[in-house]
A and B are shown apart, each in its own frame.
Chain A
């Protein structure tokens, strides 16, 4: 999703702290490239990561937003390791949204790969300066000094000084070049590779007000907003006088909103959408929400008012019968292969629904407009972008917009969109008071940036040796012309691109009046299900074991594409050897093909490469006669590089991703009369504890590659793994999600 190149062009600078101590900062010189948006020039100001006070307290800053991925531990752990301080002596602080931190982007599982090297270098540089300070104090050579647990030691003279005692002097030491600092031998790691408890766990367990919803500003009012139920609709009039007369209500007004720049903008950076609606502001949230029950709004639904999911599905089938609008990738020629007599062809149509994020903490933002400046509190995955949008909306210089980044009760991509900042800013400015805008669950579910739906019309062929020789995919999605709905396209270079000599991916689009966006493992969360299910269909057609078929496919000679359309030549750099490694490991750990399973119970396998991570998963599933399924156990084999920074946290991320993926098998957002039908968790459920697999075994295959992220890549393979197991157990192939459409549900 994004590249964060701070390691390439950065330099260190030290600042003496008032009252003693030092602060070590990294000056990003780079342009931080956000793959889906315009490049953002990082200014030449320091991002300060290490502060050491004379009393020895080491404060490390986490620039990313915590939404449950445990980033408050991950980044500071990297610094602390090389700084050589005890983890328990470290205090972690969160950074506000500020361009001085370079790209503050929480998403794309990008934090680990983007920070693995620079954060360790920052720590090592700090250590080097502390050693220099000690050596000078003692009049000894730096090489004679060593560090441990936040102290510099001179063994020969049996002297030592704490980092706090050295901090002020260290601030006057020469700053090392980032590239020249010596990093630890990994065998000496004391923190990396050790499980640390999340720095805010205690606050969570004692109910401390650390989430966005908990923000309190003196004199704060509470707001609800009834947004247009149809994208692009407008509130024409409302019974505002009735609402204003209700108990506790301070203000009620129509928000005109602002037309979108186009139907398919990139909501991340271009336009979060400032939609029309009615705001109610009261002295308590409950008063505002209660008043809303009496609210009557006359809406102009606009051009999408008749949109309907059933009609869209019919349209997709019609489009599938026509010549596809575009070719996204073409290698070889599939048609002659399909006409051959010695092949076995398989055709299958897969339906991907829209689904919602449903973060447990409903979207909210607190805004305080005062004296021409505004302060906002929100858990934002891309807070700098929100700051820019608010500045534009209120016509303020960005320097007059302050965004405080708070903890988010889940993100999953939803908090990458800054629409709530716009609403809250507007409401606060209108009423001239600090306002907390809090959505109800219904608001949240009905005004999301949904994982985009789509339809995949697949055709493949295996030859008489059971080799995959042709692959054709007609993806019918949403958009217009060459534009797909945001994050609703199809990546034509996904595996098995390059591994199949005749490979053709085409697309057609139809219009959509719904905001779409990134949901945990964007694209991959639906693509992997289709591709790995269809590969399974082909494996069965070839009469081969599904693991064996995949191993052979990974071993197939890779073709050299003549002139690939789409985004680059291969499946985004998939390394066949690494994928083979995790596939073999998961087969071994799960006892694939080794155990006799009772009738109605079967294993299914799938793999997927996304966000730089290699994941292969096996699910063991029991299907009852009434199509109730129980996932008995899941085995995950993952290759995310040479080190697992925080093993406890890594394990729970993977287990959570598996459970999240299973939940996606029973979720669907549909449209009727242009509006979202589902409103709360009963209509768009997540797995309950009784439905979660009792065991999810996670195995990390450590390979000599730089560590990469874990927020997302464990999710995609679980859906096809389970569907493939269901097929083996029942002979029925799930080609439509949610699986409830085919009568399957979790027991």
Chain B
């Protein structure tokens, strides 16, 4: 039996401990926000946080999450008001949208470590996240925008839902 915390909630899993965390999240816990793209850690669509660090859930056996805390896109905020989500919304970053949960999780991890990233910091942190639609220019702009909106002291992703955002159209 594997116990872990997912988005602040206790969860347990008694299936194959080798099953990648991705499939436990998607098909066992019904958290469909984390996406399957390549199964080899090449595209980053499955990026989630394990104890706050970005990992590729498609390559991480669920056993590696035992007694740890997992945060997925659904755990950033209940209503899309996390500053990174808000910046993505304001700049209307997604095209097809499939990679964006992974992009956002990588961006959150970057901002937690580097609150005011340079373009080079963004490239280095986000290079493992493929966007097949090519929304990279807006992704970069949205990371900067989120950095401006984030409190000076980095907050934990899972409890930052109260942060304000600017809504509506551009």
List chain A positions with a Cβ less than 8 A from chain B.
66-70, 87-88, 194-198, 200-202, 204-211, 213-214, 216, 222, 247, 284-287, 290, 358-362, 407-412, 438, 440-442, 648-649, 652-653, 655-660, 663, 680-682, 686-690, 692, 694-696
Contacts and interface: CB of A to CB of B under 8 A. Distances in A.
B31 A207 contact: yes
Contacts of A213: 32, 35-36
Minimum-distance CB pairs A-B, first 8: A207-B33, A409-B98, A68-B96, A659-B134, A204-B97, A656-B134, A68-B95, A207-B73
A80 B62 CA distance: 48
A725 B130 CA distance: 26
B64 interface: no
A359 B45 CA distance: 12
A687 B45 contact: no
Contact of B37 (A285, A362, A696): A362
Given A360-B45, A692-B134, A202 B37 contact: no
Contacts of A687: 134, 136
B162 interface: no
Contacts of B40: 441, 680-682
A658 B169 contact: no
B99 interface: yes
A358 B132 contact: yes
A656 B97 contact: no
B130 A209 contact: no
Interface residues of B, number: 65
A293 to B, nearest CB: 12
B85 interface: yes
Nearest to A688: B127
Contacts of A688: 123, 127-128, 130
Given A201-B93, A205-B94, A410-B133, 7 more contacts: A211-B98, A213-B35, A216-B32, A652-B95, A659-B136, A681-B130, A692-B136
B170 interface: yes
Contacts of B137: 655, 692, 694-696
Given A209-B32, A286-B27, A360-B98, A681 B38 contact: yes
A360 B23 contact: no
B137 to A, nearest CB: 6
Contact of B27 (A67, A285, A358, A359): A285
B41 to A, nearest CB: 10
A633 to B, nearest CB: 11
Nearest to B45: A360
Interface centre among A196, A408, A686, A688 (most CB of B within 10 A): A688
Contacts of A69: 95
Contacts of A410: 96, 98, 132-133
A196 B72 CA distance: 27
B126 A67 contact: no
Interface in B80-115: 80, 85, 88-89, 92-101, 104
